[in-house]
Amino acid sequence: MLNDVTFGQYYPAKSFMHKSDPRIKLLALIAYIVALFLAKNFYGLAACALVLIFAVIFSRVPLGSVLRSVKAIIFLLVFTAVLNLFFHGGEHLLVHWGIIKIYREGIIFTVFFVLRLFFLVMGSALLTLTTTPVELTDGIESLLTPLKWVRFPVHELALIMSIALRFIPTLIDETNRIIAAQKARGADFESGNIFKRIKAIVPVLIPLLISAFRRAEELGDAMDARCYSATKNRTKYKKLRFGWRDLIIFLTFASLITGVVLFNIYAAEIFPQIYEYIKLS
């Protein structure tokens, strides 16, 4: 049922993206999200899509694995698309059936919004697919180092975020096993309306919560048995270093944000006829 969800999983490979510094990948993801929300037209969105395509190519992660990360939010995509399609007004009415009115501007805005959310999820999934939980922990802790001056528990926060990401695929596997066991006992998760399906999922939640708490307790015991302590004197086996790959990634995403801003300003002058037809305002 949830086998195709890849968000939070790591795909081992020897690629440009895998060998990059986790700190620059985290900053690149933030810059990519900023660029997505700065984009006010399809030209900026196309630039974000182009950068994402090159990132997937240089990561050597199968495109199917990245696309499957969107499976977890398909319902959200469809729901928001329907809301925007039916409730976004405009000047050019295309369909009028009872209280339902669909405008050309609504269709354009819906497509734009869905693509933006689609690219955001794919970019976030690519980070976890090319970065191990340990590297994510080190990267987050390094980026938040200035907060240590105000006695903020940076290491603990980074560790919590890393464990949370690591447990996503584990909990998905556990959910699949519980669902398979329930099906073997005659449970039906695939027939009936949406409310019956939601009701059928309820018996899965209790054993899933029990399993999650049990795993958390086992992890805590294992860390205590190894005398784990988040002290100031902790050393690191692997030092993070900024290299030429990271410089290329930094320049790429800095150029992306610059390009998106320029498209917002000059798109109407460069492509006047196309811009007038597909403008979002």
Q: Where are the domains of the chain?
A: 13-134+241-281, 167-229
As beta bridge partners, residue 97 has: 100
Q: What is the pLDDT of residue 185?
A: 77
Per-residue pLDDT of the chain (281 residues), as tens digits, is: 455 555 567 888 888 998 898 889 999 999 999 999 998 888 888 899 999 999 999 998 888 888 887 777 787 888 888 877 777 666 666 666 766 777 777 788 888 888 888 899 888 888 888 988 778 888 888 888 888 788 787 877 877 877 877 777 788 788 888 888 887 877 777 776 667 777 777 778 888 888 888 888 888 888 888 877 766 666 666 777 888 888 999 999 999 999 888 887 776 555 555 555 555 54
Q: What is the pLDDT of residue 138?
A: 83
- Count the neighbouring beta carbons within 10 Å of the beta carbon of residue 24: 22
The separation between CA 236 and the C-alpha centre of its own chain, rounded to angstroms, equals 28
H-state helical runs in the chain: 22-38, 42-59, 63-67, 74-87, 104-130, 133-143, 154-184, 194-225, 244-270, 272-278
Q: What is the pLDDT of residue 54?
A: 93
Please give the backbone phi and psi of residue 230, each rounded to the nearest 5 degrees, phi first: -85, 70
Is the CB of residue 100 less than 8 Å from the CB of residue 47?
no
| Residue 200, token pair as written in the block | 């059928």
